[in-house]
Amino acid sequence: MSQKQMKEAFVSNLNGTSVLEITQGLCYPAFCILCRGFLIIFSQHLCSFSHTWKTRFFIDFIVLILPLVATLTILSSFILLELLAVIIFGAGLFYQIYQRRTCYAREPVQKILEKFFTISLESEYIPAISCFRVINSVFTAIAILAVDFPLFPRRFAKTELYGTGAMDFGVGGFIFGTAMVCLEIRRKDYIKGSRFHYFTKSLYSVWPLMLLGIGRLVIIKSIGYQEHVSEYGVHWNFFFTMIAVRMITSLLLIIFPLNKSWIVSLSITVLYQLALDFTPLKRLILYGTDGSGTRVGLLNANREGIISSLGYVAIHMAGVQTGLYVGKHRSHIKDLIKVASCLLLVAISLFISLYIVQVNVEAVSRRMANLAFCIWIVASSLILLSSLLLGDIILSFAKFLIKGSLVPCSWNLIQSPVTNKKYSESQVSEVQRKEPSLCLITALNRKQLIFFLLSNVTTGVINLMVDTLHSSTLPALFVLNLYMFTNCLIIYVLYLQDKTIKFW
């Protein structure tokens, strides 16, 4: 067996892990981000520690990147303990901040909370959505390289036919996160303007993805790089899926109102599942047109990637609905609490629905992107998003306790003028509000596609240079951490230099 065949076999015929383990893993980085906020507040205002761009980068890398690398490798069997540990650590930091608060120092907790609920929020972007996209990008970047090393648990890798692998969520989560900030949501005048104009603009915006998809295909075929054919097919890749999803959803959003996206999503998933159950569509995906697994012809060669795009369209439409709901202008903490509660309730309802569907209809299948897969991706995405929103609320309270606190990629707090105008002016100065967000989260969020592309390129280079299959634990960890450090630093420097690599 050749090296290429061994690497392909290493990531094939896998069945994934439990939904519970993946859910725990998703909550872990959300609490890491909360602890990162506490650390910044504590070091800035209670330890008089000055933050340069270098120290901010290292803090973000150590608190956000390194724990996720460890969770996906050497600490993969202790996810629940890691989650409990970071919660206890965060609680300890929060207690220290509360004890040393500079605002309302002599007020009881009840009075402080009453005043906190009058606070208004202000931010250029929704911090929870930015963090969602960054977490998914970082996880994907780590996993696409780590999966080639023995220390990466096989249960986290992409599943062959049925099952829930951690890497399966990364694909769906990427689509969901992109949908929450799609063009139709970001353009405030979309509803009033010409939808056809935005449709043509959306179509024009996919041509860089087309170049990337074709470029990846040509490079992989020319160098004989290992491929998992049953993932997307012979020629298809994730860039082509993104193109198909973007084109179809842009057309759907011309026909249907934005606030009805959830109806479109539900309709597509149900109809697609009915087609899988009552037509030859499932047999076509699994065995080709002749029933023998043929790869002859464009459809047969790429049947998984082409047909599963329908499921990703449904996920995208659910993401559009979520982004529209979360992105509505809300000016008070109470509104944020309602949003987090609503998303959490919907997520729990979807997990119950997932159990029913898996028992009575069909198990989760990334390969087909069936009904159960779509429900699982949306439910897991909402759990992560609601965890981040909960973290936003707690972090906002910590900032409320320390006068002048400024945490990059978080809400700015504005006290209601009716309640206390003087305090409003001292909470966050105008200079602070205009200060650029020097943080890794903002950099990765603004340059997500470049980070994804860079990660793919460096993953390929490392695979060509290193015998990943026979690497022991310490060398593998060194390579993974160096790989993530290099990629993150490049993106961070590009962000600091205000270098925008964009083609549309």
* Per-residue pLDDT reduced to its tens digit, 78-131: 999 999 999 999 999 999 999 888 888 788 888 888 888 888 888 778 899 999
In a domain, residue 88? The reply is yes
In a domain, residue 501? The reply is no
| Residue 193 amino acid letter | G
% pLDDT > 90, the chain: 54
291: left (phi over 0), alpha (psi -120 to 50) or beta: left
- Could you tell me the residue range of the domain that residue 33 belongs to? 3-496
> In angstroms, what CA-CA distances link 411 with 51, 95, 123, 445?
19, 21, 5, 16
Residue 63, classed as helix, strand or coil, is helix
Report the C-alpha gap between 43 and 136 in whole angstroms. Answer: 28
Contact 355, 164 (CB under 8 A): no
Tens digit of pLDDT for each residue in 404-450? 778 888 888 886 554 444 444 444 444 444 444 678 999 999 888 89
Quote the pLDDT of residue 197: 67
Sorted by sequence, the CB contacts under 8 Å of residue 331 that are 6+ apart come out as: 120, 121
In a domain, residue 327? The reply is yes
- Phi/psi at 281 (5° precision): -60, -45
Contact 354, 19 (CB under 8 A): yes
Quote the pLDDT of residue 47: 66
pLDDT higher than threshold 90 for residue 265: yes
Beta bridge partners of 412: 122
Contact 405, 45 (CB under 8 A): yes
Quote the pLDDT of residue 52: 75
Contact 467, 10 (CB under 8 A): no
In the DSSP assignment, the letter for residue 236 is -
pLDDT higher than threshold 50 for residue 480: yes
Quote the pLDDT of residue 49: 59
Quote the pLDDT of residue 190: 53
In the DSSP assignment, the letter for residue 332 is B
Sorted by sequence, the CB contacts under 8 Å of residue 46 that are 6+ apart come out as: 96, 97, 100, 402
- Whole-number mean pLDDT of the chain? 86
Pairing status of strand 120-122 against strand 412-414: antiparallel
Report the C-alpha gap between 4 and 10 in whole angstroms. Answer: 10
In a domain, residue 490? The reply is yes
Tens digit of pLDDT for each residue in 463-474? 888 888 888 999
In a domain, residue 503? The reply is no
In a domain, residue 504? The reply is no
Tens digit of pLDDT for each residue in 166-187? 999 988 999 999 999 988 887 7
Residue 178, classed as helix, strand or coil, is helix
62, two tokens: 């150590």
Q: How many domains does the chain have?
A: 1
In a domain, residue 80? The reply is yes
Which residue did the predictor score with more confidence, 415 or 245?
245
291, two tokens: 């029933």
In a domain, residue 502? The reply is no
Report the C-alpha gap between 226 and 3 in whole angstroms. Answer: 9
